[in-house]
Amino acid sequence: MGNNLIATKTSDVKGLFFTIPAVILPRGYKLHERKQRKVINNTKYVTTENQNCNRPHSSVVVDGNDRAPARSMLRAVGFGDDDFKKPQIAIASTGSDLTPCNMHIDELATHATKGANEAGGKAVNFSTITISDGISMGTKGMRYSLVSREVIADSIETVVAGEGMDGLVAIGGCDKNMPGCMMAIARLNRPSVFVYGGSILPGVHKGQPTDIVSIFEAVGRHARGEIDDAELKKIESTC
């Protein structure tokens, strides 16, 4: 891992609802190190290094009198006094009506939000994009598919790091969602969980299960003259 990195042992983070693996930290950095609060005109100002280990990032954003504007913004979206004392957990959803792979992801995000809140955290939801290879394949749109991983990773990293989230639950379903979410998790190096949305249930045509591969195969059979337009449409409608 290089001479400038060390790994701490596996530990439970109180206030979160999962166990984190070894955390990679710059050599010489210790989570228990603290600095004295700065006192200006009898007002306490918080520095990065003196934060509660359960809230190493959100405490920088919301603790202290000088962070009143940030708290004011968060109160407008439903934060109460007690919420500012909890680890903030980002729930990153790839939910979309664009593709059946993702049309149910927001429902999973709702469950993740409930779980994080019930376990003592404060969940904060946001969304990112998805591209469907099954739709764009064979067109110029396919040029955007692979690079969408970076867009997904960039967007998740930007929100979590920019807003000072202490943990992350990322939920993806389509091909590029999964690596995009994992790339963001790796970059952020914060307590994180990736949730796979699951496989799409198959349809049925003439007693046989059908999926997206079935219609691609049917296009080839149609091109060879093995099936007519009507049969192609039936298969298309059952996948």
Write out the DSSP string of 89-146: EEEEE---SS-TTTTTHHHHHHHHHHHHHHTT-EEEEEE-----HHHHTTSGGGGGTT
pLDDT value, residue 239: 85
pLDDT value, residue 51: 53
Average pLDDT over residues 214-232: 97
pLDDT value, residue 141: 94
Lowest-confidence region among 6-20, 61-75, 83-97, 104-118? 6-20
Question: Is the pLDDT score of 61 beyond 50?
Answer: yes
Give the model confidence (pLDDT) of 129-170 as tens digits: 999 999 999 999 999 999 999 999 999 999 999 999 999 999
Give the model confidence (pLDDT) of 110-138 as tens digits: 999 999 999 999 999 999 999 999 999 99
3-state secondary structure of 158: helix
pLDDT value, residue 52: 66
- Domains of the chain with CATH codes: 5-200 (3.40.50.2300), 202-239 (no CATH)
pLDDT value, residue 27: 40
- The CA-atom distances, in angstroms, between 92 and each of 13, 105, 164, 188 are 20, 10, 14, 13
Give the model confidence (pLDDT) of 78-108 as tens digits: 999 999 999 999 999 999 999 999 999 999 9
Give the model confidence (pLDDT) of 23-54 as tens digits: 333 444 333 333 334 444 444 444 444 456 79
